Structures are given as C-alpha cells and as structure tokens.
Amino acid sequence: MDRTVVLITGCSSGIGLHLALRLASDPSQSFKVYATMRDLKAQGPLWEAAQARRCPSGSLEILQLDVRDSDSVAAARARVTEGRVDVLVCNAGRGLVGPLEAHVTGAMSSVLDVNVAGTVRTLQAFLPDMKQRRSGRVLVTGSMGGLMGEWPRAGPGARKRQSLRQGSSTCSQLCRRSMWRKQKRAKPRETSGVLLQPSRVSAPGHASTTSSRLQGLPFNAVYCASKFALEGLCESLAVLLPSFGVHVSLIECGPVHTAFQEKLEGGLGGALDSADTKTRDHFFCYQRHCERVFREAAQDPEEVTEVFLKALRAPQPALRYFSTEHFLPLVRLRFDDPSGCSYVAAMRRAVFEDKSAERPDGAAAKPGAADLGGCELSAPAAAQQ
C-alpha cells in the first residue's frame, strides 16, 4: 500500500519538528515525511530525535526549503521522489512582539513575507498537482492571536459556551452550497456577500465550525495581522477547493512550549527606547501577563501534534481545529458584540489591570482605570459574565 506523502515547512524546531517525528514514527508506518527547513545547519536536533524514536528507514527525509524564495520551494518539490504530496503542512512562521512604533521596517516585512507571502508561495507550488489529481489535504498552523489569560469554565456563561459546541454544518459548507446552488439554478449575476452565522466551537482537538477570527492582542499588531491574513486565505480556499477533492484546515494553537519566543524577529519588544514611557509600562505589564499565561495554559508540542493528526485523518475535515479550549470564550465575545467593545474591554482588563505587574527594573506599573480608556458603547451582559 502506498504511504501518505507529507511535506511540512518549518521543521527546525517547535511544532514542525514534533509533527515530523510523530508522523515518521507512527506505528502504522503509513507516512513518508519530508521535513523542510530554511537552513539545513539546523537539522541536527531533528535527526537526533528521529534516531531516539527509532523512526523506520525511509520514513523521514529532510529538505532545504525557504518559503521566502519561490525557487527554493520549487526545488524542494522536485526532490519529492514520489512525484506527489498528499498532505501539505504550512507551518513556517515568525513572531514579532513589541510596540508598533518600535519595529523597524525590515522586521515587519520579514514577518509578513514568511507568514503570509511564504504560505502563498508554498500553496502555489503544491496546489496545482493536488487539484489535477483531485486529492489532497492542506493543514495551516494558525494561532489564537497570541497569549491570553485563563477564562472561567463555569458560571453564568457556561451554558452559552456549551451551546457553541452544538451544531453540524460548517460556514464554509453553507457558503459552498449557497454559491453552487445559485450557479446551477440561475444565470450568473452580481450578488452581495453572504452573511453567515457561526454554528459551533469545538472542544480541544475536535473540529470547529465557527467562522471566528483571531483575537488581536496588544504588542502583537503585525504578527496578528499576518495570522488574520491566513484566516482569510484559508476561508477563501475552503470554499473552492473541495470541488477538486482538496481540503484546507487551520490548526488554531494557543501558547505552546517551543523556542518561538526565542526566535522573535528583532528580539522581544524591538527598539523599546523609541516608545514613550507609558507605552513601555504597558509593555512590561504585558510581559508579566504572558509569563503567567505560559505557566498556567501553555501546551506541550506533542499535545498539539495530535490535533494535526485528527485533522489529517478526518473523513470530512473541518475548516478549523482548536488545540485548546482555554480561549474559546473570547471567540464568543466577538459574536455577542459585533462592535468589538466587549472583546477590547475584556482584553484590557486581562492584560493591563494586573496590579501585581512590575517592570523589570522593579518599579510598579499600575495603570489606573482612567488610563485604560473605554468604549463609547456599553458592553452587553454576556461580556460581564
């Protein structure tokens, strides 16, 4: 029986490395994994881990692939000896954290080039063959938008959160049915956009059928912009590609214990000296918030890779899979209050009203209620819950 050929970008560390190992060492021995990375000098840890796991001979091959370079992507594709890729995992990514005005242009351009344009280049290289063969899976590493605080699991909002997990059809399926039925029953004509309501949000590792967007986080503006772009990219493809037997899924991850923070473009915070004192104080509060969230909610990469496997093996894959349920209540906030006021207020309370936050130099950073501002519209009752 032919093995499933999987190509993964960004395998030098983190989720990509662990996913390559998980598939190559799978007891079924049904996967041939091409683990790719920008710099082959970083392949040592992957080979060492593969030997430790006793991956079967021929189950893993490492290729050079730089998503910023179309020629590099094409060269990696040409080295796939099977002549096809059954599952493409777009995982390569870069982070950028700090005040927007502290980022140099080169750092911002690099993040957008890798996270957005790099994903597009990779898809452009592999999608045509999948469409021609009328078979293929695409998994894209998404994000919950950054690091968020723990939210209550019980209380007045619990019933609403449970109701989000009930339902069946996905928004992409509804959109496809609406579009293709119109195509069959009526002559082509201009139509307005279709407004779709979310049907449910799943428990960790299960399909999410909500059309949620990522949550914007303070000091992650450019990174979140890149992840928002991937949401739109994948939603668009999810409507079209099933006609060709190809399915796209986003794996929405929260904080994960990897070296991602150590590889931030431009370092943590960027050039903080260019930011004003109040912005720097807010950034120090945010740092403390992130440290707390990582202690309380960060996942191990192995746990996240199992979510990738669920999406890969699903007979009818969904558009979104969430690796954790910690942050799903924030998704609901965005629909309870389309104005965005509830989400903004909730995030400001979670990040900046931590009275224990201190700056690295030991000085207290305690922005008061007057400093935090507010929205002209009142938050609905659901937000207060």
For the annotated catalytic residues, the residue numbers are 223
Spatial distance between the Cα atoms of 209 and 17, rounded to a whole number of angstroms: 28
Contact assessment for residue 60 and residue 33, using Cβ atoms and an 8 Å cutoff: yes
What's the burial of 34, exposed, middle or buried (CB within 10 Å: 0-12/13-18/19+)? buried
Assign residue 10 a region (left: φ > 0; alpha: ψ between -120 and 50; beta: otherwise): left
8 Å CB contact between 138 and 237: yes
Residues 290 and 269 sit within 8 Å (Cβ to Cβ): no
User: Does residue 147 contact residue 330 with C-beta atoms inside 8 Å?
Assistant: no
- As given in the structure block, the two tokens for residue 220 are 């992650």
Helix (H) or strand (E) holding 37: strand 31-37
Pair of tokens at residue 163: 């109701």
Question: What are 299's strand-pairing partners?
Answer: 256
Cβ contacts of 230 within 8 Å, gap of 6 or more: 115, 116, 119, 140, 142, 250
> How far is 150 from 289, CA to CA, in rounded Å?
11
* 320-322 and 60-64 beta bridge pairing: unpaired
End-to-end CA gap in the chain? 54
- Contact in structure between 286 and 175 (CB atoms under 8 Å): no
Cβ(217)–Cβ(206) under 8 Å? no
> What does the longest C-alpha to C-alpha distance in the chain come to?
69
